[in-house]
């Protein structure tokens, strides 16, 4: 069993890549669990299924018959399950709710909340199949963004401040053992822009500093340049052949008045500069010396076909 944690700056495609990775890992007949912990039902939305209850549901079948199950982990449910398991407190939920204990544990004490969430991930990841062996071959966690990931996974120190002994402490210890073991890797998703790349650089440093293992860097939504390679340098420097643009417009049956031609030349310069900036960001990422995989921008990233394409790319590139 392997636990793949997927983080990255907000909006870079964590949920999409986590789903693609889960499909890739399931290919060929394996059982994979895809989980989220932020109570946003992002997985259900992506796979177009009703909101996920607090129980695993099959959301996709991978190539070769493997299956992807999904679970939205909710801190309140995780706490109730936990109380039942460790203290045999059945139906204690409503009473605890009245006392405000649930709110305390799930919103006021963030360290406790995180250990409940990661504890549930661990429970699913290590669960045994009837008759022996792990139930899941891999677990993919659509995790909080880079800014919070090290703290989220570093439940040990968080909980140490709350309790020195008891089952919560023990739970935190075994969660930490799994998270720091060779079974867990933290992948970071980025796009080729300054801020997300900087967050990736900082995120890796922070993971290493907290004894967590950075995995791959996934460069998402990569687009090919729209202009030929040999023109990029000149265009970026502001030198664009306007006659050529005018001829192109004419050939396409469009009017090539000077204003349009100049505006298009400006677009070309902007585009060429962006291409060069993206290449710089790619260099910054390659200096990190982590396995790096590129995923192109695809128009159907919210469809199963798009997720399957991402899975195929990751597989072909050797990530799984
Ligand atoms: N490879 C891709 N090609 C095209 N669109 C993509 C790709 N990856 C993600 N997207 C789109 O980008 C948007 C953000 O993706 P996603 O929701 O996966 O990001 P996120 O990092 O999980 O966001 P959040 O931080 O809000 O959780 C979505 O509209 C998604 O469909
Ligand atoms: Mg998301």
Residue-wise pLDDT for 132-176, tens only, equals 888 999 999 999 999 999 999 998 777 766 676 677 788 888 899
257 has pLDDT over 70: yes
Ligand 1 mutation target, pool 7, 10, 16, 294, most atoms within 8 A of CB: 16
Residues with CB under 6 A from ligand 1: 8, 10-16, 42, 145, 220-221, 295, 297-298, 301-302
Sign of CA dihedral 148, 205, 198, 296: negative
Predicted TM-score of the model (pTM): 0.93
Pick the ligand that lies closest to the CA of residue 220: 1
Nearest-CA residue for atom 26 of ligand 1: 11
> Hey, is 60 helix, strand or coil?
strand
> Which ligand 1 atom is at minimum distance from the Cα of 18?
18
What was the pLDDT predicted at 108?
Answer: 65
How far apart are alpha carbons 70 and 126 in whole angstroms?
16
Pick the closest to residue 200 from 185, 215, 184, 181 (CA basis).
215
Q: Which range, of 1-15, 94-108, 219-233, 236-250, averages the lowest pLDDT? A: 94-108
25: CB partners within 8 A, 6+ apart: 4, 32, 66, 137, 138, 140, 320
Pick the ligand that lies closest to the CA of residue 300: 1
> Which ligand 1 atom is at minimum distance from the Cα of 40?
27
**What mean pLDDT comes out for the span 73-86?**
82
What was the pLDDT predicted at 91?
Answer: 67
142: CB partners within 8 A, 6+ apart: 6, 14, 15, 18, 19, 34, 35, 36, 37, 38, 42, 43
Pick the closest to residue 204 from 9, 1, 69 (CA basis).
9
What was the pLDDT predicted at 86?
Answer: 72
> Which ligand 1 atom is at minimum distance from the Cα of 145?
25
pLDDT band at 131 (very low <50, low <70, confident <90, very high): confident
Tally of CB atoms within 10 A around 105: 21
100: CB partners within 8 A, 6+ apart: none
Helix (H) or strand (E) run with residue 317 in it: none
268 has pLDDT over 80: yes
72 has pLDDT over 90: yes
Could you tell me the distance, in angstroms and rounded to a whole number, from the CA of residue 134 to the centre of ligand 1?
31
300 has pLDDT over 80: yes
**What mean pLDDT comes out for the span 63-86?**
88
**Percent of the chain whose pLDDT exceeds 90:** 74
What was the pLDDT predicted at 55?
Answer: 87
Q: Which range, of 98-102, 124-128, 271-275, 287-291, averages the lowest pLDDT? A: 98-102
Could you tell me the distance, in angstroms and rounded to a whole number, from the CA of residue 42 to the centre of ligand 2?
6
90 has pLDDT over 70: no
> Which ligand 1 atom is at minimum distance from the Cα of 299?
4
Could you tell me the distance, in angstroms and rounded to a whole number, from the CA of residue 47 to the centre of ligand 2?
13
Ligand 1 mutation target, pool 140, 145, 221, 301, most atoms within 8 A of CB: 301
Nearest-CA residue for atom 28 of ligand 1: 13
**Percent of the chain whose pLDDT exceeds 70:** 95
Nearest-CA residue for atom 9 of ligand 1: 13
Sign of CA dihedral 87, 93, 95, 99: positive
- Compute the mean pLDDT over every residue in the chain, rounded to the nearest whole number: 92
Nearest-CA residue for atom 25 of ligand 1: 10
> Which ligand 1 atom is at minimum distance from the Cα of 16?
18
CB–CB of 288/314 below 8 Å?
no
The per-residue pLDDT for range 17-71, each reduced to its tens digit, is 999 999 999 999 999 999 999 888 999 999 999 998 888 999 999 999 999 999 9
> Hey, is 92 helix, strand or coil?
coil
What was the pLDDT predicted at 306?
Answer: 98
Q: Which range, of 6-20, 145-159, 177-191, 283-297, averages the lowest pLDDT? A: 145-159
Pick the ligand that lies closest to the CA of residue 7: 1
CB–CB of 146/9 below 8 Å?
yes
191 has pLDDT over 80: yes
Alpha-carbon separation of residue 129 from 60, 66, 136, 184, 315 (angstroms): 20, 16, 8, 20, 27
Q: Which range, of 10-19, 117-126, 222-231, 278-287, averages the lowest pLDDT? A: 117-126
Which pairing describes strands 67-72 and 31-36: parallel, antiparallel, or unpaired?
parallel
How far apart are alpha carbons 175 and 118 in whole angstroms?
7
What was the pLDDT predicted at 161?
Answer: 66
93 has pLDDT over 80: no
Could you tell me the distance, in angstroms and rounded to a whole number, from the CA of residue 277 to the centre of ligand 1?
21
């Amino acid at each position: 069993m392997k636990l793949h944690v997927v983080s990255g700056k907000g909006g870079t495609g964590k949920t999409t890549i986590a789903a693609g990775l889960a499909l890739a890992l399931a290919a060929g007949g394996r059982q994979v669990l895809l989980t989220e912990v932020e109570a946003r039902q992002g997985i259900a939305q992506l796979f177009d299924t009703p909101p996920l209850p607090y129980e695993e549901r099959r959301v996709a079948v991978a190539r070769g018959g493997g299956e992807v199950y999904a679970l939205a982990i909710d801190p309140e449910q995780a706490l109730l399950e936990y109380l039942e398991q460790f203290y045999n407190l059945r139906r204690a939920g409503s009473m605890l709710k009245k006392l405000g204990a649930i709110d305390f544990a799930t919103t006021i004490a963030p360290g406790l909340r995180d250990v409940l969430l990661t504890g549930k991930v661990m429970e699913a990841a290590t669960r045994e199949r009837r008759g022996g062996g792990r139930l899941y071959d891999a677990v993919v966690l659509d995790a909080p963004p880079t800014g919070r990931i090290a703290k989220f996974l570093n439940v040990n120190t968080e909980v140490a401040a709350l309790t020195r002994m008891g089952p919560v402490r023990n739970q935190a210890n075994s969660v930490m053992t799994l998270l720091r073991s060779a079974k867990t890797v933290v992948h970071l998703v980025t796009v080729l822009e300054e801020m997300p790349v900087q967050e990736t650089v900082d995120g890796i440093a922070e993971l290493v500093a907290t004894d967590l293992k950075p995995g791959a860097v996934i460069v998402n939504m990569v687009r090919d340049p729209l202009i030929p390679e040999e023109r990029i340098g000149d265009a970026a420097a502001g030198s664009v052949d306007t006659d050529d643009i005018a001829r192109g417009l004419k050939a396409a049956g469009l009017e090539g008045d000077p204003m349009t031609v100049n505006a298009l030349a400006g677009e070309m310069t902007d585009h060429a500069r962006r291409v060069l900036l993206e290449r710089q960001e790619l260099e910054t990422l390659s200096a990190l010396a982590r396995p790096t995989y590129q995923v192109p921008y695809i128009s159907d990233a919210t469809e199963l076909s798009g997720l399957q394409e991402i899975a195929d790319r990751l597989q072909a590139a050797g990530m799984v």
